[in-house]
Structures are given as C-alpha cells and as structure tokens.
Structure 1
Amino acid sequence: MTGHEPDRALLPPGSDAGSRTTVFGCAALGGLYRPSSREEAHAALGAAWELGFRRFDTAPHYGVGLSEEYLGEFLRGRPRDSFTLSTKVGRLLVDDPTVADGTDGFFGAPARRRVTDYSADGVRRALEESLERLGLDRVDVVLVHDPEDHLDAAVREAAPALARLRDQGVVTGYGVGTNYAHVAERFVRETDADHVLVAGRYSLLDRRAERGLLQACAERGVQVLAGGVLNSGLLADPRPGAPFDYAPAPERLLDAARRMAAACRARGLSLRAAALQFPTRHPAVGAVVTGAGRADEVRDTVDQLRAAVPDDLWAELDTLVPDQDLLP
C-alpha cells in the first residue's frame, strides 16, 4: 500500500524552506512539565508565526485540551489556507474535578480525565470534540495517538475510520503518532496511512527507527515526522541527571551525548543545532517536530535550525552513536 500524496497534506501554499522541514509541536502549550498561560502560549505562537512556522501539531492529550484551545484561539484570525494543522485521536476527554494537577506531566490544565477509545465511533467523536476546542471547521491530518497498548483496535478500527474520512475529503491525510518504532512500522505495513510521527526514535543518539520503519515509509510513500529529537532533554544539555525518554539517562548515553556535545563545540556549534537538524538528513523524513513553549525558546530553535553543520561533523557524530541494542 502506498501513501496518498503526503507532502500536500502538510505543505501550505507559500511555505518557505524552513516551514517545509519544521512543524511547531504544541505539547508545551498544554503545560507539559510546567504551566503555560494564555499570554505565554500566544507569545510563543506569535514568534513562531513571525519566523515562518505554518505547520502545527497538537493533541487532546496535551493539557487535556488546553493546547488545542490556545492554538485554535491563535489560528482563528488567520486565513485557513495559510497554515496546516494536525491533531490526534485515541483519547476522549471528560470533566472530572478529582483529577490532580500535573497528571501525565501536564500542569495548570483543566480538571479533565482522558478516556482511551480507538474505536471508529471514538475516533469520529474525538475529532468532532477537537474541532470544537480549536474553533475551526477542519484539520488537515489526524494521527492515532499512542496506540501501543491497543494496537489491534487502532489498526482494525481507528485506521479504517480515518481512511474513510480522508477518502470523503474531511481530512487530507491520517497516520500514527507514537514513541515506538515497531508500533509505527506495524501501522505503516498494515494500513494505508500517509504520515508517521515517531518521537525519540530517530535522533543523534537513538536510531532505532532505521531498523525497519524508515525503509517501510520510504517504500510506501509515507511521510515521517520526527519528534522528540532532543530525547527528553539529554541532547539539549547532557548534564548529570539529564533525562532520556523521561527518566534519568544511563551513564553510557550521558557519556555519548557529552562526546557529541564536545565535537559540536569544537566547530563552534551547539549540540542542539545538530540534534534538531539530524533527522531531515534521511530522505523518508519530511519534517522535524519542535517543542518550544516560550517565545525565546522558539527564536533559539530557529537559530539552531539555521546553523550550518559541516559534513565532517556529521561523520564524527555517526562514530559516537551508542550500541542501539543497549538502549533502555
């Protein structure tokens, strides 16, 4: 099975080279790790828009709807054909005053709980509710979110439901968003998805997506969106205690990240610059999903994306990649 013109789904008219390789990920707008106010979220989005971002990715999971609400408020005043937007399905949101702040890592979010639902009806309902929170009449791409514990339902129910919506013209494309390369690969091989968002599995340190996923996507014309390219922060600042995959990094990974950082410094670059740019060197990767939540972070991200990384540095970084069989 092949994808259905995946580039058209996420490339708005007039996009410049930067927006074609970068998607503004909106998890931080939902209060990931720390609260995000409406003013702070809008300032970050305003900086992103000014710097040329026209591709946005959100999800009900991000701040139990708060990310969608902030993003929708910002985008509603802009022509609908000037940007593209993806959101996700697989979780329905229910008001619940007993939910503690900080649940699932999101702070300052509404008192709602997530209800897992990968059925065809759940998918349609989730999309309808996302459109209500966004205040928009459509999204471009819908991704099945974190289906690893419900993969059969995702493949047999959610995917066909989204394929029908695509074929009816309700959405432009659909796919899967996951932290697991093998989950994404099964989704690609057993559905006619257009897109894969794989988080953390194709980075300077973690290249497990190379083992099968990227080849499968290339064969089927599925566009890969690479998220989590800083590996939870280890590739932003490889200090003792730095996280990898949301837990303290093992010493061997910390050592590898430090060696990579030293190689970058020797050429006057930051490790962040190499980490943000690395995934798009593979022909199957259509874009990197960034995760800045403040205006200053957005500007720094763009600075890192604009830095020139020499070929000899890429070659040296390849020699420092840790044994993939030993990754946690």
Structure 2
Amino acid sequence: GGVAMPPQVKALQAGVEIVVATPGRLLDHVQQKTINLSQVEILVLDEADRMLDMGFIPDIRKIIALLPERRQNLLFSATFSEDIKKLSQGILNNPATVEVARSNTTAEGITQLIYPVEAERKRALLTHLIRTLPIPQAIVFTRTKHGANRLCAQLEKEQIPAAAIHSDKTQSHRMRSLEQFKAGEVSILVATDIAARGLDIDQLPFVINFELPHVPEDYVHRIGRTGRAGSEGCAISLVSPEESRERQAIESLIKQTIREEVSVNFEVVEPVQRPVGRRPPREAEGRSRTDRRPVARQSEVEAVEQVVREPKVPRPVPEVPRSVYSHHHFSRPPLGSSGIKKHREIPALLGG
C-alpha cells in the first residue's frame, strides 16, 4: 500500500514466485483479479503481533480463506503474548515453536539507560545529549504524529538535521527521509511506532525514547532497531515522573532494572509542590520563588556585561510600505482604549 498499483500489476502479469504484501493491498489485487492465490504453497505472516495490534487479523483470515488447504504456514513475532498464542492456534495447524531468544527480551548488545527529567525539559535534554555524548545518528521515538512533527521542527531550529516519519507522511516521503538518513544527510529520524516498524538500518548506534510507550512490548520493538546482527547499540529513555507506571511495566516485561544516568553539565530542576488554591510567595525582586528559569552562570553574566559596555550604533530602520502586512500578531491597543477608532465625518457626495 501507499504506492501506485499499475507497476505492481505489471510485475504480477510477468509472473512472480514470491509476493510481499500488506493485507489490504493484497485484497485489493484479489478484488481486481490481478492476482490468483490458488497455487500458494507457503504463507508467511511476519510481525504478527503488530498486525494484531493494528486490526489486520480480519483481513488475514479473508486471505487464508482464499488459499489452498494444503500449504505450509510460518508465523513470526517479536513478542509472544497470550493474544499471539490464541492467534496461532486459530491459524496454524499443530505448529512447532522455535524461539531464537527468551520471550520479550532485549538483545544483549544493547546498553539501556534512563535519564530522569521533567517533561517540559525533555527537548532541552535531548539537544544537550545529541551534542555532548555525542550522538552521530539516532531514531527518536514519540507517541504521536503531532509530537513527531513538533520535535522535528525543534531540532531543525537547533541546527540539528532531522526528519519525521509517520503514517500521515506519504510512502515516497518516508522512503526519501530514510534514504537521507542512511546517506548521513539527516542525523535524527523522529518516528512513531507504526512508521518505524520494519526499519532495517545497519549499525544504528542509538535509539532514543523521547516518550515511553504505553504498551511495554513496543519498548522491545523500539530498541530492537539498534544492536542488530550481533552489533552493539545504546537505547536511551527520557523518563518524566509522570511515566513511572510505563517504566515499571517495561522493567517487569524485560525482567531487569534499567540503569539511571544523569547528564553532566545539564541543570536538573526539581519539581516544586505548590499548595492547592494558593499563589506562591514572591521574592523582593517580584519573581515567584517557584520560578524555574535557570540562573545564569558567571561566564554568561560577564559576556552580557561586556556587550552592555560596548557602544551601540543604532541601525537605520527601513521604511515598510503600507501595502505590506506583517505576518506577526497585531499589537494590542493601550489599556483603557476601546481599540475602535472614531471616523471623521465626511460629507456625502450626491450626483445625478
């Protein structure tokens, strides 16, 4: 799916021995009679757990009904939950189970780290880690498509080449972003769980969970993008206090406690508990005591003082034509004014 059908029809008419398809697109070809499944000998269901989560199983059952009764079935799943067991019992006939690793475990070559941080400071910490560790390339996972777009824009603003991939992006856009990432033109790929599933990137050094997934099995899928084929990788999770439940569920699933780290030279702001219904007291300068704005370091203060001491030459202000309107917000009228100008009375012109 996501690409034009005519090239696929042309390839099918030429004759193929292996067809790799999504359930929906395969049914489209069946309905248009551009494919015949009566001679299929082997059925492979890859990423069965993800197809189960996305509601593809009804389509899978429709496809199975079109296949010959005598065939070989293969089902692959990164996780093996009770739902997957029930699915396999309904689709497979007396199956043999082969486990490459213990169920719901992560690869041994992946170093897993947690950086505790307040939710509103995650973007700042992410930028700090990318620049200081450093992180040459990484896939950063978010929960939502909107969050992926917003984070990508923030990284671009910080002069960090980034691209977002999610289900709202066209297939061509996703492929182009992936090629740019593999070519090194983009260093950060911001992705949602669905879009990143199935990505195979050799020697990916880092995976970053900007937000922990609600489903703990998705954590296993996410960090599985690194440390592939025996290579080493690092999975970093930025965890806020509000995500403690998700963290506990993940650690319970993988049966291990993830090590915590604190970033050097990154100021950690402790949350302040405010009394309900009361305003926080103010200091002599008029600032709230719970103001979380970081205090400037001595070097920053000296730099500002040096700028202040230097003479400033006023720049000429270019005249803006009246017909050109700024795209910024219009300024508000002064307090006390209604914002509506009184018009000067103009005598009417009467003509015959």
The normalised TM-score by structure 1 is 0.29
Higher relative contact order (CA 8 A, sep 6+): 1
Structure with bigger helix share is 1
The normalised TM-score by structure 2 is 0.28
